[in-house]
Structure 1
Amino acid sequence: MSLAATTSRHSPLLPLLRSRGIASCSTHSSYSTTAVRKVDGLLNLAGSSGIKKVGFYKSQSQGLGLRAFSVSMGRREFQKIKVKNPIVELDGDEMTRVIWDWIKTKFIHPYLDIDIKYYDLGILYRDKTEDKVTVEAAEAILKYSVGVKCATITPDEARVKEFNLKKMWLSPNGTIRNILGGTVFREPIVIPRIPRLVSGWKEPIIIGRHAHGDQYKAQDFVVPGPGKLELVYTPKNGEPERIKVYDYKAGGIALAMYNTDDSISGFAHASFKLALQKKLPLYMSTKNTILKKYDGRFKDIFQEIYESTYKAEFDAKGIWYEHRLIDDMVAQMIKSKGGFIMALKNYDGDVQSDIVAQGFGSLGLMTSALITPDGKTFESEAAHGTVTRHYREYQKGKETSTNPIASIFAWTRGLIQRGTLDNTPDVVAFAESLEAAVIDTVEVDGIMTKDLALACGKEDRDSWATTSVFLDGLEKRFKASLKAKLLR
């Protein structure tokens, strides 16, 4: 499905920008997941507080050029920004699907001339297509390099019954990650006004989650009674090798999972590259004292790649790599001030990313990006679920206050990656200016959803806004900041 519109290549705003010496943009890496960067000139759209008050990183851009938009700014009409290549959109479920549509209506379609390749990953359409749509969506991301994804339902027994599904379909995230490969990097969106539950965290903590195999592609089953459990490995040109696991005296459960050297190597390269780009130390954490072969393989591959490929660059930047046991690392994480990257196996990364998000203030303030080792194939999404409880209230016509920030950042991070790959700085500038407006809507205007108000210790109804009111406030700030900067 194409949502592209035809516009002129030439922007009437460019002469104005050039006259002020800000008609160019030096883009930053798509790995960047801090809320806002310190910038000068046109992109400083955050109002009286200034963007420089938020975020952990210093400027990597010296003024960002924005072409004009085809929306009304006073008496002038400006052209939409042209997005050179398509973005793959993966729609989702429940409350996040509703919010996703609101975001597109308010902040994507009015400003961007963009070709969107749309895939409906809502649970009913996944069931109708027998989950083929998920595979097709992942293949489209491989083709076009950039995807943005809404939160989706992973069905359990209750969901199968609720939607009368043909079967208990696998997690769409797991399917997509196994097709794309790569690593999921999650980092909190930091808003100074929102207090941290872990008060000692002063710098970002980035979680790199290995997005392949382990429990998420495991085979598990209920053992019905007494018997012997074995693992059988059959070489391509050899005799089967049997490994005894357990002799059951009665019923129980069993699990078999796997990973590959290639996938672990890709995980390592992506993690080391991000550490160099962020100039942050990297810790790989496993339980290799217990899983000596399984977790030990992660430890060994990371160490081999570090020594052979990255150690000299790490030394030059004054950062380091270290393997630490997962239980020790988690304890150190809580005691630390932050300022590092944790590379974790699939399940560990899943759990720890939520802990980090909540520790920084809210699960609704977490970016999530799946990035392949070459840095090109990219999928961004909100790190939270479909917010079923709020959706039930929405269906009843009651007011809801669901935090849309992570979903907005799913779009902006996808646009930043698209603009970086296409060398279209206007697209990057647009996305970053929208992120700046999001931060200031909370930080300066004090408009926030209920989860953020509660994090600030405010429980009265007047202290928080519904989702629609928050988005209206964001839209007002975004338009006002654009008008102030583009028309003065």
Structure 2
Amino acid sequence: MDKIKMTTPLVEMDGDEMTRILWQMIKDELLYPFIDLNTEYYDLGLEHRNETDDQVTIDSAEATKKYGVAVKCATITPNAARMTEYDLKEMWKSPNGTIRAILDGTVFRAPIQVKGIEPKVSCWKKPITIARHAYGDVYKGSEMKVPGPGKVELVYTAEDGTEVRELVHNFTSPGIVQGMHNINNSIESFARSCFSYAIDTKQDLWFATKDTISKKYDHTFKDIFQEVFDAEYKEKFDELGIEYFYTLIDDAVARVMRAEGGFIWACKNYDGDVMSDMISSACGSLAMMTSVLVSPQGYYEYEAAHGTVQRHYYKHLAGEETSTNSVATIFAWTGALRKRGELDGIEELMTFADKLEKATIDTIENGTMTKDLALITSLENVNAVNSEGFIKAVRATLEEML
């Protein structure tokens, strides 16, 4: 059959380690044979980020603004060990954090549910979508090691030179300190994205912080959400019969464990990072979760919610067989291709994305899967395959459907 044509490029952000290997396999086996793939390529592998002083990350985000849709491979956020391993110039910040800050969007993450992989929380009947704020907090934080006794303060200097000071701590011995920030405009964008997504998907929206302890920082999030909801969204929520409510983060965790699912749980940046991993793990695997950054300006960046699978990469380099789950990375591509098709009016591209997702799920439900799923499935007589074997099995299923 003729390959599907694309009219506008996708922004393609390549990544690191084992997910970079899977990225190429997916293109070779599941995309190139069927699509005349049109991408603007950016190498966000750690070596290239280091070579460009991380300018490539900024360039990829700006390209996403230009073309509207991006697909991203998992990338390394370096720590001290990575500094040595990759001989880095400096400890570069999270590329996801940089991209989110530039696009000013909200990350929506939801588990990919398949038959035979039942959630560990028995009452969960429907997917729980995590809406993660995509700017600031610890991801844009400034940190300092305090060498000894002394005073640490927060200082705000207004444009006219006047100062406001807030004591952080009087240190009597060495310690550590961190300053973080957020911006009202970003919080408002976060709120609007969440309320709009809830209306689009007709789901209840929960929002949770810890305003009883953080009486200014977290309380500002709470106040802005309520103000935006009351002014712009309450009437539509009432028409649809859906609910918005705020609660403390610890209460939200308790409620989630008793809920049936089918709602959106909005979280601050770090909370969303952690809770999305909890939801995905409970639903089977970190590699069984979709993730899309949605900007209020209409930019979309699709990615897998997990990391670079470092342990498998070292096995791969040693010539050992791996069985790495590529489902979330496949779904990153299908999400981006579907959105590109939607924006460009290419029905064939949208249909292909749907069929590739179905082929992926059908492959698992028919008993062929990677080892992480084979260990937890309720299906019998499963065929546990290696990384490449799973992708080739999906291709065989897809070819039958096409």
* TM value normalised by structure 2: 0.98
Report how far residue 113 of structure 1 moved: 2.1
CA–CA separation in structure 2 for the residues paired with 1:446 and 1:459: 8
Report how far residue 257 of structure 1 moved: 0.5
What is the letter of the counterpart of residue 328 of structure 1? D
* Partner residue, 2:312: 390
Report how far residue 238 of structure 1 moved: 4.2
CA–CA separation in structure 2 for the residues paired with 1:334 and 1:359: 11
- Is it true that 1:435 corresponds to 2:395 in the alignment? no
Report how far residue 206 of structure 1 moved: 0.3
What is the letter of the counterpart of residue 229 of structure 2? Y
Report how far residue 406 of structure 1 moved: 0.4
* Partner residue, 2:126: 203
* TM value normalised by structure 1: 0.81
Task: Tell me which of 353, 356, 368 is aligned to 1:447.
Answer: 368
Where 1:353 maps in the other structure, the secondary structure is helix
Q: Which has the larger radius of gyration?
A: 1
What is the letter of the counterpart of residue 308 of structure 2? T
What is the letter of the counterpart of residue 138 of structure 1? A
Structure 1: gaps of 5 or more residues: 1-77, 483-488
- Is it true that 1:190 corresponds to 2:110 in the alignment? no
Do the aligned partners of 2:206 and 2:265 also contact (CA within 8 Å) in 1? Answer: yes
Corresponding pairs, count? 402
* Partner residue, 1:152: 75
Where 1:164 maps in the other structure, the secondary structure is coil
- Is it true that 1:477 corresponds to 2:394 in the alignment? no
* Partner residue, 1:44: none
Report how far residue 259 of structure 1 moved: 0.3
Where 1:96 maps in the other structure, the secondary structure is helix
CA–CA separation in structure 1 for the residues paired with 2:349 and 2:207: 34
What is the letter of the counterpart of residue 60 of structure 2? A
- Is it true that 1:380 corresponds to 2:302 in the alignment? yes
Write the mapping of 1:7-86 to structure 2, written as runs, cut at 5 A. Answer: 78-86=1-9
Where 2:81 maps in the other structure, the secondary structure is helix
CA–CA separation in structure 1 for the residues paired with 2:341 and 2:127: 25
Task: Tell me which of 339, 342, 350 is aligned to 1:417.
Answer: 339
Structure 2: gaps of 5 or more residues: none
What is the letter of the counterpart of residue 441 of structure 1? T
CA–CA separation in structure 2 for the residues paired with 1:459 and 1:131: 47
* Partner residue, 2:233: 310
Report how far residue 114 of structure 1 moved: 3.1
Runs of 4+ in 1 over 3 A off after TM superposition: 457-460
- Is it true that 1:178 corresponds to 2:101 in the alignment? yes
Report how far residue 213 of structure 1 moved: 0.3
Where 1:455 maps in the other structure, the secondary structure is coil
1:458 to 1:80, Cα distance in 2 relative to 1, 3 A: closer
Between 1:87-96 and 1:241-250, the stretch displaced more is 241-250
Where 1:187 maps in the other structure, the secondary structure is strand
Where 2:119 maps in the other structure, the secondary structure is coil
- Is it true that 1:456 corresponds to 2:363 in the alignment? no
Post-superposition CA distance 1:128-181 (Å, at most 9, x none): 111111111111111111110001111111111111111111111111111111
Task: Tell me which of 48, 60, 63 is aligned to 1:125.
Answer: 48
Do the aligned partners of 2:14 and 2:20 also contact (CA within 8 Å) in 1? Answer: yes
Post-superposition CA distance 1:216-270 (Å, at most 9, x none): 0001111100111111101123411111221111111111100001000000000
CA–CA separation in structure 1 for the residues paired with 2:88 and 2:170: 36
CA–CA separation in structure 2 for the residues paired with 1:481 and 1:109: 17
CA–CA separation in structure 2 for the residues paired with 1:210 and 1:229: 28
Post-superposition CA distance 1:280-332 (Å, at most 9, x none): 10011000001011111111111011111111110111101000100000011
* Partner residue, 1:278: 201
CA–CA separation in structure 1 for the residues paired with 2:128 and 2:53: 38
CA–CA separation in structure 2 for the residues paired with 1:195 and 1:342: 20
Do the aligned partners of 2:75 and 2:95 also contact (CA within 8 Å) in 1? Answer: yes
What is the letter of the counterpart of residue 124 of structure 2? W
**Percent identical residues:** 51
- Is it true that 1:466 corresponds to 2:389 in the alignment? no
Report how far residue 425 of structure 1 moved: 1.7
What is the letter of the counterpart of residue 95 of structure 2? P
Report how far residue 463 of structure 1 moved: 4.2
Where 2:375 maps in the other structure, the secondary structure is helix
Post-superposition CA distance 1:423-451 (Å, at most 9, x none): 222211110110011010011x2100011
Report how far residue 457 of structure 1 moved: 6.5
Do the aligned partners of 1:84 and 1:114 also contact (CA within 8 Å) in 2? Answer: no
Do the aligned partners of 2:110 and 2:289 also contact (CA within 8 Å) in 1? Answer: yes
Do the aligned partners of 2:116 and 2:378 also contact (CA within 8 Å) in 1? Answer: no
* Partner residue, 1:334: 257
